[in-house]
Structure 1
Amino acid sequence: MLLFRMLSRLIRSGRLEVVDARGGVHAFGTGDAAETIIVRLTDPSLHWKLALNPGLYAGEAYMDGTLQMVRGSLYDFIDLVTRNAGFGTIGPFDGLRRLGIGLQRFWQQRNPMDRSRRNVAHHYDLSGALYDLFLDADRQYSCAYFAEPDMNLEEAQAAKKHHIAAKLLLRPGQKVLDIGCGWGGMALTLAELADVEVTGITLSQEQLAVARQRAELAGLSNRVRFALCDYRECQGQFDRIVSVGMFEHVGVPHYAGFFRTIRSLLAPDGVALLHSIGRAEGPETSNPWLRKYIFPGGYSPALSEVIPQVERAGLWLTDVEILRLHYAQTLRHWRRRFMANRDKVAALYDERFCRMWEFYLVGSECAFRHQGHMVFQMQLSREVDSVPLTRDYLYVGERAEQRRIHAA
């Protein structure tokens, strides 16, 4: 059977047993039998579906309950598979899929404004109560920054915001644009750290309402305003521009326009900071299950796709930092909190939704641990001398702030 031939080539480290829909047992890999991960398939069609397109059908089978864990957790299973696959591909037909990668990406990631709004609503307009069950209190829904190994989630998310603020080189009186402001945490933090005016834009109605309420409660609505706005509609000029966790939703066909917009909105001596998920293995397509159920229109780019567009837009790439396992650590915190509150998630939605989100959080964490996913932060400017000539400025005040946060 094609599926089991595929698994026999894939599983080299660790041990996996699959009970097929007819009750047959198939063992793969080597290792201690007591540590064997066992899964059961209850739908005979999975025998060919998982071989044809494991990236789509494994997640659907887990959601439907036709892929069942007999021994070990879902994390144990996905960790085993992705650890063995590494940067490589899973499935004998993946080479054929790669032949049409350019055309696939054009159609999958074409995000005109109306489609962008629908894609954002699909994920970010879910119940706010859901996000409160696994995010930190500030609802930072992006990679945290574990400046010290023993940081908890709240500390690491605060450190992320301060790390970005340091790269922005904020000065009193500046105007700041936050593209993809989420629930407002970054914009409010920047306003609190420096005497700046911040405009945050989002395409999510739910996020907009929460962000405005938070600004009012914090007494910052005179310096922080939020708007329902696409980055392509934004007008004016800003001394600083920040975008965290939004670029993944832009789409490859729109990269040139995105960076042209950044340049046109940025003051001549301005500084921009882009924080985005990326991939180390080069251009690819989005995981089909993730694209269908979690982030329609989403894509994590390779730097080789991004930097040429920065150059063509006439921007200086003044600093690049690669955060490797920081997101894996972030996702582990989220996954554990989600699982601890699983019954509350089921009360909000249903069991299938719980399985879908468990698969999303597990698969994402393993992608950052084993399959070349990372986060990059790009500092951009229009002028060659807009930022200091060395990176020392990043760490002087930041380290003192981290010590203060950690002590508190």
Structure 2
Amino acid sequence: MALSLRRILQRIIRRGTLEVTGADGQTERMGDGSDPTVALRFLDDQAEEEVARDAQLKLGEVYMQGRMLVEKGDIYDLLTLIKDNTLVTDLNFSMLWRGLVRIAEARLRGLFPVNHNRRNVAHHYDLSAKLFDLFLDEDWQYSCAYFNPPGISLDEAQLAKKRHIAAKLCLEEGQRVLEIGSGWGGMGLYLSELCGVDVTGITLSEEQLKVSRDRAARRGMEDFVRFNLQDYRTMTAKPFDRIVSVGMFEHVGRANYRNFFGKVKELLADDGVMVLHSIGQPYPALYNNPFFEKYIFPGGYIPSLAEVLPAIEKSGLLVADCEILPMHYAHTLRHWRQRFMARRQEAARLYDEAFVRMWEFYLAGSEMAFSHEDFFIFQLQITKKRMAVPGNRDYILEREAELKAKEAMRPPLEKVIFRDGQEEPPASLPEEELDPPVLRPGRQAAE
């Protein structure tokens, strides 16, 4: 094993056990011999050196490349073992130097922001929808679920999330609703079908747009739910009664928070209500995780409330309610990771083994952020007028009960169709729009 890597691991791992087999075939054990035990194997000397020099980026990279194997436990167990042991004093000069460089780069990008929103969104969300179908719930909700009561299934928790947000919106039949970041259409369709509102959903993902429009067409909802390829910053429209945004704010970027909430103020009616659902972290980050920035969410940024609340206040908006959901995303990500790994061979056929390992590292690292690094979900209820929402929170439970009763009468969600292992194109879209291929929710297969 490379001397530099041995020194780092010996300094970090004090509790638990890490067994490392180097490219030379020699195995060394770090820690106190107690559980948990994780075993690694490096397949080349260079991989050891790279991890020692820049663990933040290279640990995930060499795992993705198959140059580091986890032979006992899994990548989540490894990340947990490292996180449970790491102290600031364990960082070596190389790690500190690279951290300072990344801080400087992040500050420079903040001074000269470049609009890559469309490209950044496409990097992640324009992947084949067949991939997301492997691990998401039946409604393709790609954001934190709401596990209330605890122990419910992923599908039940995602439905509970939509119900919880709908209750906070205080919707009334006939109102106009804007959804900023409409995903694959599930939230917009839920709000329209259950609450009788008119929904406009906007997205920068062409693949999500195709799926959303097709779902609305299949459910006969095109006159009530419209999805558009639209950047919120250039949107002009008559003010909406309600605005909802779930899992999109993480892509706005902290340099743009004032502009975001300024646009919200412009698009929200004077007596309107907005619900913003986003990942949060306990303090402003100096820079993004380099692996996630390079491979998963380029240009993304997880805000702290200390960065968000001043932007809301300076935009002339009011925070009517703030709810923190501390562990719900950890549970959601664990469901996603387990479902994804159960179908990893299908994912490998869509892409390759390197992609599977990259996605596993992404899901495991994200889960660890919530289980070990105090990340959380915040839901902000935002208004222009103090009395736009009731003066206590009892109405949320009351409206949730009403919505739950209505859900029992809602037509079932569409199932995914496979025909001879291939996707069936929807009748509402021409064949030439199906490149790259996208798996869309469709009619139930004939029995």
Q: Cα distance, 1:303 vs. partner? A: 1.2
CA distance in 2, matches of 1:107, 1:250: 17
Contact 2:325 2:378 in 1 (8 A): yes
1:132 is aligned to 2:133: yes
> 5 Å matches for 1:159-170?
159-170=160-171
Determine if contact 2:194/2:407 at 8 Å carries over to the other structure: no
Cα gap change, 1:104 to 1:319, in 2 (>3 Å): farther
Say if 2:337 is the partner of 1:304.
no
User: 1:51 Cα shift?
Assistant: 2.6
Q: Which residue of 2 aligns with 1:360?
A: 362
2:347–2:356 Cα contact (<8 Å) kept: yes
CA distance in 1: counterparts of 2:313 and 2:104, whole angstroms: 24
Kept in 2, the 8 Å contact 1:238–1:266? The answer is yes
1:290 Cα deviation after fit: 0.8
Asked if the contact 1:168/1:273 (under 8 Å) is kept, the reply is yes
Matched, 1:82 2:88: no
Superposed displacement of residue 45, structure 1: 2.4
Give, in whole Å, the separation in 1 of the partners of 2:176 and 2:114.
Answer: 27
Q: How does 1:223-238 map to 2 (within 5 A)?
A: 223-236=224-237, 237-238=239-240
Kindly provide the amino acid, as one letter, of the partner of residue 333 in structure 1.
Answer: H
Write the letter of the residue equivalent to 2:343: N
Give the equivalent residue in structure 1 for 2:181: 180
- 1:241 to partner: Cα distance: 0.6
Q: CA RMSD in A?
A: 2.3
1: CA distance, partners of 2:76 / 2:136: 19
Give the whole-Å Cα distance in 1 for the aligned partners of 2:187 and 2:404.
16
Rounded Cα–Cα distance in structure 2 between residues aligned with 1:95 and 1:380: 40
Amino acid at match of 1:386: A
Distance 1:282 1:161, change over 3 A: same
Q: 1:89 to 1:158 in 2, by over 3 A?
A: farther
Q: Within 1, Cα distance between the matches of 2:177 and 2:113?
A: 25
| 1:71 corresponding residue in structure 2 | 72
Query: Is the CA contact (8 Å cut-off) linking 1:21 and 1:42 kept in structure 2?
Result: yes
Q: Does 1:336 align with 2:362?
A: no
- State the 1:96 CA deviation: 4.0
Counterparts of 1:89 and 1:141, CA distance in 2? 37
Deviation string for 1:336-383 (max 9, x for gaps)? Answer: 111111111111111111111111111111111101221111111111
Show structure 2 runs of 5+ residues with no match.
Answer: 411-447
Stretch deviating more after TM superposition (296-305 or 72-81): 72-81
- Pair 222,134 (structure 1): closer, same or farther in 2 beyond 3 Å: same
Question: Aligned residue for 1:54?
Answer: 55
CA displacement at 1:247 relative to structure 2: 0.6
Where does residue 16 of structure 2 map in the other structure?
14
Query: 1: CA distance between counterparts of 2:24 and 2:108?
Result: 39
Amino acid at match of 2:38: I
Going from structure 1 to structure 2, the CA distance change for 1:341 and 1:107 (only over 3 Å counts) comes to farther
For residues 299-343 of structure 1, give each alpha carbon's deviation from its aligned partner in whole angstroms, at most 9, with x where no partner exists.
111111111111111110111111111001001111111111111
Specify the code of the residue in structure 2 equivalent to 1:169: C
Aligned-pair distance for 1:273? 0.8
% same residue? 50
Matched position secondary structure for 1:297: coil
Given the two structures, how large is their TM-score scaled by the length of structure 1? 0.93
Per-residue CA distance 1:60-83 (angstroms, 9 max, x = gap): 101111111122222221222223
For the 8 Å contact 1:170–1:194, the answer to whether it is kept is yes
Match of 1:384 among 383, 386, 391: 386
Q: Which moved more, 1:329-338 or 1:92-101?
A: 92-101
**Inter-partner Cα distance in structure 1 for 2:219 and 2:84:** 45
Contact 2:75 2:361 survives alignment (8 Å): yes
1:311/1:15 CA distance change after superposition, 3 Å: same
Tell me the equivalent position of 2:395.
393
Instruction: Rate the CA distance shift 1:108–1:28 in 2: closer, same or farther, 3 A.
Output: farther
Secondary structure at the counterpart of residue 138 of structure 2: coil
Offset of residue 4 of structure 1: 2.6
**Deviations along 1:206-265, whole A, 9 cap, x unmatched?**
100110111111111111101000010111211111111101111111111111111111
**C-alpha contact 1:248 1:299 (8 A) present in aligned 2:** yes
| C-alpha contact (below 8 Å) 1:155/1:405 kept by paired residues | no
2:256 corresponds to 1:250: no
Cross-structure match for 1:264: 266
The one-letter code matched in structure 2 to 1:46 is A
Residue range with higher mean Cα deviation, 1-10 or 323-332: 1-10
1:355–1:310 Cα change, 3 Å: same
On the 8 A contact 2:175/2:197 being kept in 1, the answer is: yes
- Give the match for residue 291 of structure 2: 289
